[in-house]
C-alpha cells in the first residue's frame, strides 16, 4: 500500500505543479486605443484572436440557418446570471456586422431591469426600449451607432417595474415585426430564464433562442429546468454557446497559433 500511496501522491503533486505553471489567460491581445468599448468585447478589439475566431464560427452557423430556415431574429439568454450572455450578444452582433456582405445588424438590450450593453459599449444612456414600449418616443429616436459599420443598437432605456407586461405586449410583437423588415439580423439580449419570464415572452416574437452556458459553473439540472420553461412557453432553442471553455492544444497546433500571433488560447465553443 505504501508504494501505491506514494505513486498517487506523486501524480497529485505533478498535477498541482502543472496547474501552478499554467500561463495566465489573456482575453485581449491588442486593445484599440482611445476606445470606450470594454476590453471583453474581443470582436471589436481583437477580431483575429482565437476567441474572435470562435465568434466567426458562430456567425457561419447562424448564416447557414438563415439560408436553410430563414432565421433572422434571435434572443440570447441563459439559465442564471453571470454566464457571459451579454458579452456574447455584443461580440456576436459585432462579428455579424463585420461580415463582408455588409448585412445590417440590430442589437437590442431587452433587460429593462439591469441593462448592461450601454456600459460595455461605452454609450451614454439614451431613450431606449422601455420608452418605446411605454409610447414616450418613436423607435428611430432610440437608434444608437457605436461607430461600428452596419451595427445599430437599441439600449434598454430607463429601468421599469413591469418589464414582463411590456415585453409580452402586442406593441412589442409589432415592434419586432417592423424591425425585421428593416434589418438583416436582430439579436436581443434578455434576462436569464430562471429568475424572470422575460425571455420566454420574447421567444414568441423571434425565430428562437441561443442559450449561453458557462462551463464548470451551471448545473445540469438548472439548465434542464430553464430549457423546460422556455419550451413550455412555446419558445425554441436553436443552439448553445459554451463560455469559459479552455482547450488543450496539441504541440503542433500550439506552434501554429504561436507563430501567427503569440495568442493565449481560451475559446468559446459553439454546439448546435
Residues 118, 125 contacting (CB under 8 angstroms): yes
Query: Using CA atoms, how far apart are residues 266 and 16, in angstroms rounded to an integer?
Result: 20
Strand pairing class (73-78; 237-245): unpaired
Positive or negative, the CA dihedral 158, 163, 169, 174 is: positive
Contacts of 94 (CB under 8 A, 6+ apart): 41, 43, 44, 47, 148, 151
Three-state DSSP class for residue 119: helix
- At 18, the pLDDT band (50, 70, 90 cuts) reads low
Instruction: Inform me whether the pLDDT recorded for 265 exceeds 50.
Output: no
Instruction: Inform me whether the pLDDT recorded for 75 exceeds 90.
Output: yes
- What is the per-residue pLDDT for 219? 85
Of the two residues 33 and 24, the one the predictor is more confident about is 33
Average pLDDT on 10-33 reads 56
CATH number of the structural domain spanning residue 115: 3.40.50.300
Specify if 63 maps to a domain: yes
- What is the per-residue pLDDT for 2? 62
Query: pTM for this one?
Result: 0.80
Question: Cell 477580431 identifies what position?
Answer: 47
Residues 82, 174 contacting (CB under 8 angstroms): no
What are the pLDDT digits (tens) for 107-128?
999 999 989 999 999 998 789 9
Contacts of 234 (CB under 8 A, 6+ apart): 203, 204
Specify if 195 maps to a domain: yes
Specify if 85 maps to a domain: yes
- At 7, the pLDDT band (50, 70, 90 cuts) reads low
Query: For residue 222, what are the domain limits?
Result: 29-271
Specify if 185 maps to a domain: yes
What are the pLDDT digits (tens) for 203-262?
989 999 999 998 888 788 999 999 999 999 889 999 999 887 765 545 544 444 444 444
Which string of DSSP letters, residue by residue, matches 158-219? S--S-HHHHHTSHHHHHHHHHHHTT-SEEEEE---TTT-SHHHHHGGGSSEEEEEEETTTS-
- At 162, the pLDDT band (50, 70, 90 cuts) reads confident
Specify if 3 maps to a domain: no
Specify if 250 maps to a domain: yes
Instruction: Tally the domains of the chain.
Output: 1
Specify if 68 maps to a domain: yes
Average pLDDT on 54-70 reads 89
Specify if 22 maps to a domain: no
Amino acid at each position: 500500500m505504501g508504494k501505491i500511496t506514494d505513486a498517487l501522491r506523486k501524480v497529485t503533486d505533478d498535477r498541482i505543479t502543472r496547474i501552478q505553471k499554467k500561463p495566465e489567460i489573456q482575453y485581449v491581445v491588442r486593445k484599440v486605443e482611445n476606445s470606450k468599448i470594454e476590453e471583453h468585447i474581443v470582436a471589436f478589439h481583437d477580431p483575429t484572436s482565437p476567441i474572435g475566431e470562435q465568434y466567426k464560427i458562430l456567425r457561419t452557423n447562424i448564416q447557414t440557418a438563415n439560408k436553410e430556415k430563414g432565421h433572422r431574429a434571435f434572443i440570447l439568454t441563459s439559465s442564471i446570471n453571470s454566464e457571459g450572455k451579454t458579452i456574447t450578444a455584443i461580440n456576436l452582433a459585432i462579428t455579424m456586422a463585420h461580415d463582408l456582405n455588409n448585412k445590417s445588424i440590430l442589437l437590442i438590450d431587452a433587460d429593462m431591469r439591469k441593462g448592461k450593453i450601454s456600459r460595455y459599449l461605452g454609450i451614454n444612456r439614451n431613450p431606449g426600449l422601455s420608452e418605446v414600449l411605454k409610447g414616450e418616443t418613436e423607435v428611430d429616436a432610440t437608434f444608437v451607432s457605436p461607430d461600428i459599420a452596419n451595427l445599430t443598437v437599441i439600449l434598454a432605456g430607463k429601468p421599469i417595474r413591469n418589464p414582463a407586461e411590456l415585453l409580452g405586449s402586442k406593441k412589442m410583437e409589432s415592434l419586432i415585426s417592423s424591425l425585421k423588415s428593416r434589418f438583416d439580423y436582430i439579436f436581443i439580449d434578455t434576462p436569464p430564464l430562471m429568475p424572470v419570464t422575460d425571455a420566454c415572452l420574447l421567444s414568441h416574437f423571434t425565430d428562437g433562442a441561443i442559450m449561453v452556458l458557462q462551463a464548470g459553473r451551471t448545473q445540469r439540472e438548472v439548465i434542464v429546468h430553464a430549457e423546460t420553461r422556455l419550451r413550455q412557453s412555446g419558445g425554441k432553442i436553436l443552439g448553445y454557446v459554451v463560455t469559459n471553455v479552455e482547450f488543450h492544444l496539441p504541440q503542433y497546433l500550439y506552434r501554429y497559433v504561436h507563430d501567427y500571433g503569440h495568442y493565449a488560447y481560451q475559446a468559446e465553443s459553439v454546439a448546435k
